[in-house]
Amino acid sequence: MKITIEMLSSKSACAEGMAWVAKNLPDGADYQEFLDKLAAGDHPEWAHWLLQQFGSIDAVKTVSAIPDGTKHIFAAGRLVFEHSVSVVGFIEAGEGIKAGEGIKAGWGIEAGWGIKAGFSIECKLAISCSLRIFAGLCSWRLPTPEERRIACANLTNGTVAHGDLKITQEKAKQ
């Protein structure tokens, strides 16, 4: 799906966002490319708005490496990490997030459906998904207690189906 200025206007996008799009994506862009540009431009609030307005699609964004300086990753569909990852900012996917090893976000993790990780899942603030959360799913050996850990300040939505939830003290600082 291609996101255009006309589509954004019909959804009552803010003036600042529309000006940014006119400058950076005047011809519009594929939904995932649009989200990637918003992530690179450090506009997580606009990416979140876009996902709320247009919902999830049946697509997979696979991340095998995260370049230095990356603060955000957004996916219009399912987000799959091939290796252990660490993100400074916020991770959000319209459908699910899956990592072969661990998932670590500086702030929050949000998925439309579920979150699956071969090892631990960690963030400073909230974890949220519509369905279930799995940590420590590595199939080649038994995971250690640390590798089964799901650490966050707040589990706002979702059910821990596999792993050990640890609520951190960051919540008290908010």
Q: For residue range 97-130, what is the model confidence (pLDDT) as tens digits?
A: 877 678 888 788 888 888 988 889 988 899 999 8
Residues in a beta bridge with 165: 150
Residues 159 and 80 reside in one and the same domain: yes
Coil, strand, or helix at residue 15? helix
Residues 86 and 133 reside in one and the same domain: yes
Alpha-carbon gap, residue 143 to 5, rounded angstroms: 48
Angle at 38 between CA 34 and CA 39, to 5 degrees: 115
Residues 168 and 109 reside in one and the same domain: yes
Q: For residue range 140-152, what is the model confidence (pLDDT) as tens digits?
A: 789 999 999 999 9
Alpha-carbon gap, residue 32 to 83, rounded angstroms: 21
Alpha-carbon gap, residue 8 to 144, rounded angstroms: 47
Alpha-carbon gap, residue 111 to 78, rounded angstroms: 9
Residues 107 and 141 reside in one and the same domain: yes
Query: In total, how many domains does the chain have?
Result: 2
23-59 residues labelled b (16+ CB within 10 A) or e (exposed): eebeebbebbebbbbbbeeebbebbbbbbeebebeeb
Residues 34 and 67 reside in one and the same domain: no
| Residue-range definition of the domain harbouring residue 76 | 60-173
Q: 32, 54, 76: which is the final residue of a domain? A: 54
Q: For residue range 16-52, what is the model confidence (pLDDT) as tens digits?
A: 999 999 999 999 999 999 999 998 898 988 988 998 8
